[in-house]
Structure 1
């Protein structure tokens, strides 16, 4: 069995996948983790320690930039919801989150074209015939990068980290496929680039996704008493991607996972591991076989939340504790795909696992995406508008914001 921590979160060693004698054991552990809780640690992941440390060491200077430098990178400048947001600027379940963060993503050009069926500045040979006038395509676009003068080497370190975790995410998806008896590569269509056939370019079925990464700083926490803490980020299931790969920096705790029994399980940092969990789309596509698990982050309550979102430079309370940093990578899905289409890639035998174990009376999964948001693009647009209403009203207008905020 996989080793566990804090009442049952499994720790899987991915290096077993390289040993035929141990791979079956790993797949069994993974299958149990997927079906039972949907949250796990992975070690032996293959991401270079230097790739991680090169980005981690830049987090303090990134967040300690002058207030005006962070304001210049505000999400309010970006229709793609990429950039900086300060304390109280993001909302989860109607409550303001006590954290500041930089949202970045796979560096990609704008392809949204409201009056044409081709991208504004892309390669038409790989996107011929596509309609990029749908509003959700506006989510896709380039990053706002911090100045080299303020954070030297940041873009290089971030790109190395993004690329390494991207490859890890693809390898892990192959293991998930094998764990459920799906041929490895079943989901590659979601991520691969256009293939070549002779001298011709074969159009890809979907536009490759844009993965997103948050660089997050929570305030110092002077107490380990969770009952005295505030919402760093409220209880939620991930809706930003297919899978999430979270790197927790240092030793500061705060992440908690809701167990199948309804208890909160602490998920503390463990050296050289990533925490992996699954998004709403994965749960919906597998009809609940793979769980998208509710989780939250609790932080120090001594910081006074502003009445309205503002850009501020956080001043830590008197405490021996340190800020908590974390780096979640959200593996994206094509915006031009639906949950119904994803289900078509998954055998009925997998989609029936939850129903067969719980009986026909429990076949539905409460976290299924609302049928109105079967389109991943529409679902993602709604998610970002609800999280950042001010950005939505600036770039999408009041009518669009009001529609998705209903």
Structure 2
């Protein structure tokens, strides 16, 4: 298959909208794949419709967001990330930073419910049958969530679990479309997400990934000035991001090739999909982890709610390993020129830096950089200083 990038990233002044129902039509599938290839190589962001996530599953969760954030402060603080070496739980208003500035939002972080595997000391139980060393600090990122009591928010845990499972399924289907757009066999990446899909060799089977979900509230600011809801950044929490924008409140903007901020307003029934740093690294920059930001609502606006789902990868996987699955024809399409803007946001992650080839290392670095207080409590000053220096 010939992969074409005839369009240029300078061209995009809005985000493409892809109808995934075309995947089920022999006559429309080719059109969908051409649109996907263009979005992959020329934009890095897109909307998807007819994605298969039931409206009832989405609305069951979104309906509970106001009540979640309206829980008493002592209840929310009791779920603080400071309680969790996995960086799961509640962050109060302006407690997270991007590029050294406070983000004007509050949020809850949840993830695939998984048991702890980290071991404090080296010993006979430090590894599993595959020989993984679970004393490595990044394994401490895996672990259970912090949930509000059921009587405080009835049905919330079930609603979030149902949402997680539905978007997880969507993410796997979407990866298969990407494989087809790349011209590689469908299922090539399955071993990253579905352990043992293609191998009975215990040593070759990956640990299942832990996907993460943020539930975010951007309160109206105290002025007409639209502050930093989230500063300019690339997503470093996963392979792909599936964002559901709740309601009509705008704020998301995407940086195009000319350094212009392009609005990505909510469109009913859609997810916004974008590609993380690991994806950019695996394709050597051919598929861009596009810079984006969120502007906080003004004093005359309503709160903005959003739900990003970050598709995880196994922590002991390396970018070099992923890259070996990507055809050279894809990797050779890397754009050599940089954004023509004075922001340093495009350099948030030096994706060719060999220090962060390990996904576990890069994930731990990301969380410690965003939540230094959690990092110092659970990982200690020397490790935090190493990752933030």
Give TM-score scaled by structure 2 length: 0.90
Paired position in structure 2 for 1:16: 22
2:293 aligned with 1:296:
yes
1:191 & 1:285 partners in 2: Cα distance?
Answer: 16
User: Are the equivalent residues in 2 in contact too, given 1:193–1:204 (CA < 8 A)?
Assistant: no
User: Are the equivalent residues in 1 in contact too, given 2:233–2:348 (CA < 8 A)?
Assistant: no
Paired position in structure 1 for 2:44: 38
1:118 & 1:156 partners in 2: Cα distance?
Answer: 37
| Offset of residue 8 of structure 1 | 2.5
1:45 & 1:54 partners in 2: Cα distance?
Answer: 17
State which of 384, 387, 391 in structure 1 corresponds to 2:374.
391
| Offset of residue 166 of structure 1 | 0.2
2:221 & 2:241 partners in 1: Cα distance?
Answer: 25
Write the deviation string for residues 125-182 of structure 1: whole angstroms up to 9, x where unpaired. Answer: 9754321110100011000011112111111000000000000000001101111111
Cα 1:86–1:381 change in 2 (3 A) is same
Which deviates the most, 129-138 or 346-355? Answer: 346-355
Paired position in structure 2 for 1:47: 53
In structure 1, runs of 5+ residues without a counterpart are 302-318, 359-363
Paired position in structure 2 for 1:183: 185
Write the deviation string for residues 265-312 of structure 1: whole angstroms up to 9, x where unpaired. Answer: 0000000000000001101110111110000001146xxxxxxxxxxx
User: Are the equivalent residues in 1 in contact too, given 2:255–2:291 (CA < 8 A)?
Assistant: yes
User: Are the equivalent residues in 2 in contact too, given 1:102–1:215 (CA < 8 A)?
Assistant: yes
Write the deviation string for residues 184-206 of structure 1: whole angstroms up to 9, x where unpaired. Answer: 11111101133599xx8845432
| Offset of residue 34 of structure 1 | 0.7
Cα 1:175–1:221 change in 2 (3 A) is farther
What secondary structure is seen at the aligned counterpart in 2 of 1:233? strand
2:261 & 2:233 partners in 1: Cα distance?
Answer: 13
| Offset of residue 219 of structure 1 | 1.0
| Offset of residue 321 of structure 1 | 2.5
| Offset of residue 356 of structure 1 | 9.3
Residues 155-166 of structure 1: pairs in structure 2 closer than 5 A: 155-166=157-168
What secondary structure is seen at the aligned counterpart in 1 of 2:21? helix
2:214 aligned with 1:217:
no
1:240 & 1:346 partners in 2: Cα distance?
Answer: 20
- Root mean square deviation of aligned Cα: 2.5
1:144 & 1:365 partners in 2: Cα distance?
Answer: 29
State which of 129, 132, 144 in structure 1 corresponds to 2:131.
129
Which deviates the most, 107-116 or 64-73? Answer: 107-116
Paired position in structure 2 for 1:256: 253
1:380 & 1:296 partners in 2: Cα distance?
Answer: 20
In structure 2, runs of 5+ residues without a counterpart are 1-6, 339-346
Where does structure 1 differ by over 6 angstroms across 4 or more consecutive aligned residues?
Answer: 117-120
Give TM-score scaled by structure 1 length: 0.86
